[in-house]
Every structure is written in structure tokens, then in C-alpha cells.
């Protein structure tokens, strides 16, 4: 009887040991670690599209969509990519995030900060345009000559977007606040129409007012082209739930954006990039002027470098100080650079873009996070 028991124990140990070895081998194999991607990837865009079917080309996200790179990347897996465009910009995208309608979103700095401080569980993946300009436009015959002349005037600002924060900073630098103005909250299209009809005295917005100037219905009083303190920023975010459940898919999405960023950052493609963006309804010449003095490799850099970290830290502080948010949070814990690092390595682009310091100056010795 004892011999039978000992023999049974030996067999049991061999079987159990084999199971353990097999489990370890499976866990270590690429097949076992392969991720099954989701059936659908939903991307929310803080901007309207043009035409039917919709055309969207803005930034590196738009270029990726125009070139079909997202669909190309996930076609072999049968993954559908759904796009949602919002005339209501960042605030509308935040509403969609709150309702769990999106996996990824393209947003300006202020709305993404408002969302995060309000409890939306997002992670910042990479910047997509780090130095967008701010413009002050008025009717051609307006007596307004400077920012200081805005006191008591009817001024349009698209609240909750990445134009509001630099607008507040610009006003503060000139001894003003929003309370010193008669601020009207208008989206871009409505503000342009209101300026052309002189229903407002001025508007603080983006490069779209260069087109109105060229049409003779606006005059540019101020531009941040020579003053990066008042520029705007945008980036790509992912929900925490999606990033945790689909890390490989998240990296692949970042790779798609990096491919467009690499192409657009090559100065020989500059004209073609502006031509692609012009499909949104703004002439290529408008983009050429907006990018004056800015190499595409600098402005479209996807690196989470000291410049981006510092700008977003300031944005969190200023948003709270201007009472645009009710709480602050740790920017570096919000940023999630591991997907960017992995994508840069896979595409052999780790040294293509030059990191910049907190003041925006190139620092070759500073590695991207």
C-alpha cells in the first residue's frame, strides 16, 4: 500500500510540475501575450468637419485621418475606427467623455485640463501642436489699436477652449480681466460672422481671422507669433479604462500619429501639409503665415519634453487662478509617456525630434520622457 501511495505522489508531482512549466512557457510566448484589440476605436475631435462625407485634416490627427492611416493600421484586425466631430469643441468632447462615448480625444490644453480636474479619467499621450497662435481681430474701421483698448468692448471668446486661457493671460498682461470686457461666448463660425457684421467689437481666436483680414472684413491688432507666452496647445488623450485594457492598441494609435508627425515635420513636405490642411476651408497661405518662423519639426513635435511639461503645469495653475477650474492636479501623473516611448522606439524615431527646455530652447542632451 505504501509503495502505491508513493508511486501516486510521484506521478502527481510530475503532472503538476508539467502544468507549471507549460503555464510559464505559455505566459512567456508572444502568442500568449498577444492582445485582442477592441472591435471599435472611437475618436472624439474638438472641431467640426467639412463636407459630406466629412473632411477633417487639422493637425497631425487630421493628416492621419486624411491619409487613412488609422484604418490602414487596424484593417487586418477587422477593427472599425469611428470619428466624432464636435462644433462645440472641447466642452462638447468632455461631455462625450463623461458619457463614455470616446476612447481617444483630440483636445486643446484648457478643455482637457477642465475635464481632468472635473474627474474625467484620461491620460495625456502626446502633444499634437504645441505653439498655436492667438490673434486679436477687429473690424477694419475699428478704433481699437491695442489690447488695452478692449476695456468695456464686446469681445468674443470661445469659452472652454484652448483660446480662453491665453486670452486671459494676454488680458492680464495688459491690466485687464474678462470682467473688464463684455465677453460673448461664441464658437468660431459664429464669431467670424458676428465680427463681419460688426455685432461684436473684437474677437480673440485663432488663425481663421487671417482669412477674414484677407477678405477685407477684419484687421489684426495683435498676434502671439513673436510671443510664445500666449500661444495655445493641443494633444491626444486616451481614457484610463481603454489604456489599461488595450495597451498594445493604444501604442498602435500613437504610432499612427507619429507617422504623420514625422512626414509633416519634414520641411520638404511643408507646402503639401498646408495644402492638405486647406481642405478644411482655409487657404494654404493662411497656414504659411501662421507658421512663420516656426519649423514644422518644432511646432509639430510629439515629444513630452520639459517645454510641454512646464506649459501644462502653468496651464493647470492659471486655469485655477482664473477660476476656469475648481481644483488642481499633478500634471506629471496625468501624462503617460510609456506609449510614446514604445512607439518612438518601434518606428526608430527616438532621436528625430529635438527636445526643448522649459523655455522652448533646443536641448540635445535632454531626452524625451
Residue 38 has a pLDDT of 96
Residue 87 has a pLDDT of 79
**Concatenated DSSP letters of 93-154:** HHHHHHTT--SEEEEEHHHHHHHHHTT--EEEEEEEEEEE--EEEE-TT----SGGGGTT-E
Using pLDDT thresholds of 50, 70 and 90, give the confidence band for residue 205: very high
**Pick from 309, 265, 296, 294: nearest CA to 126:** 309
- Of 156-160, 268-272, 357-361, the poorest mean pLDDT is in 357-361
**Pick from 223, 221, 202, 204: nearest CA to 152:** 202
Greater confidence, 310 or 30?
A: 310
Average pLDDT, the chain: 88
Q: Where are the beta strands (DSSP E) in the chain?
A: 40-45, 80-85, 104-108, 122-132, 135-138, 154-157, 182-184, 202-205, 219-223, 232-239
Greater confidence, 131 or 139?
A: 139
All residues at 6 or more sequence positions from 265 whose CB lies less than 8 Å from its CB, including other chains: 296, 297, 300, 301, 352, 353
Average pLDDT of 346-358? 95
Answer whether residue 20 shows pLDDT above 80.
no
Give, rounded to a whole angstrom, the gap between the first and last alpha carbons of the chain: 66
pLDDT tens-digit map of 4-14:
444 444 544 44
Residue 25 has a pLDDT of 40
Q: Torsion angle of alpha carbons 163, 168, 170, 172, nearest 10°?
A: 180
Average pLDDT of 44-66? 82
**What residues form DSSP beta bridges with 126?**
236
Average pLDDT of 331-348? 97
Average pLDDT of 243-264? 97
Q: Tell me how crowded residue 156 is: count the other CB atoms within 10 A of its CB.
A: 25
**Pick from 311, 303, 293: nearest CA to 351:** 303
Average pLDDT of 35-59? 83
Using pLDDT thresholds of 50, 70 and 90, give the confidence band for residue 33: low
Greater confidence, 313 or 86?
A: 313
- Of 19-23, 57-61, 314-318, the poorest mean pLDDT is in 19-23
Answer whether residue 355 shows pLDDT above 90.
yes
Answer whether residue 30 shows pLDDT above 50.
no
Residue 26 has a pLDDT of 37
Half-sphere exposure of 267 (CA within 13 A, CB side): 7
Compute the distance between CA of residue 97 and CA of residue 313 in angstroms, rounded to an integer. Answer: 22
**Concatenated DSSP letters of 191-222:** HHHHHHTTSSSEEEE-THHHHHHHTTS-EEEE
Answer whether residue 317 shows pLDDT above 70.
yes
**Pick from 349, 346, 330: nearest CA to 124:** 330
**Pick from 200, 106, 165, 146: nearest CA to 315:** 165
Compute the distance between CA of residue 318 and CA of residue 234 in angstroms, rounded to an integer. Answer: 16
Percent of the chain with pLDDT over 90: 74
Residue 364 has a pLDDT of 64
Using pLDDT thresholds of 50, 70 and 90, give the confidence band for residue 91: confident
Amino acid at each position: 500500500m505504501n509503495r502505491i501511495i508513493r508511486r501516486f505522489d510521484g506521478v502527481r508531482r510530475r503532472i503538476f510540475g508539467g502544468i507549471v512549466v507549460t503555464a510559464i512557457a505559455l505566459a512567456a510566448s508572444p502568442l500568449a501575450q498577444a492582445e485582442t484589440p477592441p472591435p471599435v476605436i472611437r475618436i472624439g475631435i474638438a472641431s467640426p468637419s467639412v463636407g459630406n462625407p466629412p473632411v477633417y485634416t487639422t493637425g497631425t490627427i487630421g493628416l492621419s485621418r486624411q491619409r487613412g492611416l488609422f484604418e490602414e493600421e487596424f484593417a487586418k484586425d477587422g477593427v472599425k475606427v469611428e470619428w466624432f466631430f464636435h462644433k462645440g469643441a472641447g466642452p462638447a468632447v468632455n461631455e462625450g467623455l463623461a458619457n463614455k462615448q470616446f476612447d481617444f480625444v483630440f483636445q486643446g490644453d484648457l478643455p482637457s485640463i477642465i475635464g481632468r480636474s472635473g474627474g474625467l479619467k484620461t491620460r495625456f499621450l502626446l502633444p499634437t501642436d504645441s505653439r498655436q497662435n492667438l490673434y486679436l481681430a477687429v473690424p477694419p474701421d475699428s478704433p481699437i489699436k491695442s489690447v488695452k483698448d478692449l476695456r468695456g468692448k464686446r469681445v468674443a471668446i470661445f469659452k472652454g477652449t484652448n483660446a480662453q486661457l491665453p486670452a486671459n493671460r494676454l488680458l492680464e498682461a495688459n491690466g485687464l480681466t474678462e470682467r473688464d470686457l463684455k465677453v460673448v461666448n461664441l464658437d468660431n463660425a459664429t464669431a467670424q460672422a458676428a465680427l463681419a457684421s460688426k455685432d461684436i467689437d473684437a474677437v480673440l481666436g485663432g488663425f481663421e481671422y487671417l482669412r477674414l483680414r484677407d477678405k477685407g472684413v477684419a484687421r489684426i491688432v495683435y498676434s502671439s507669433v513673436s510671443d510664445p507666452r500666449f500661444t495655445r496647445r493641443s494633444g491626444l488623450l486616451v481614457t484610463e479604462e481603454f489604456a489599461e485594457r488595450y495597451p498594445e492598441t493604444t501604442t498602435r494609435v500613437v504610432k499612427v500619429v507619429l507617422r504623420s508627425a514625422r512626414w509633416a515635420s519634414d520641411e520638404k513636405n511643408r507646402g503639401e501639409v498646408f495644402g492638405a490642411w486647406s481642405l478644411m476651408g482655409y487657404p494654404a497661405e493662411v497656414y504659411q503665415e501662421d507658421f512663420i518662423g516656426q519649423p514644422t519639426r518644432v511646432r509639430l513635435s510629439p515629444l513630452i519634453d520639459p517645454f510641454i511639461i512646464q506649459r501644462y503645469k502653468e496651464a493647470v495653475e492659471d486655469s485655477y487662478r482664473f477660476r476656469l477650474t475648481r481644483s488642481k492636479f499633478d500634471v506629471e501623473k496625468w501624462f503617460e509617456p510609456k506609449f510614446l516611448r514604445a512607439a518612438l522606439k518601434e518606428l526608430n524615431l527616438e532621436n528625430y525630434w529635438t527636445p526643448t527646455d522649459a523655455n522652448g530652447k533646443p536641448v540635445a542632451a535632454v531626452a524625451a520622457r
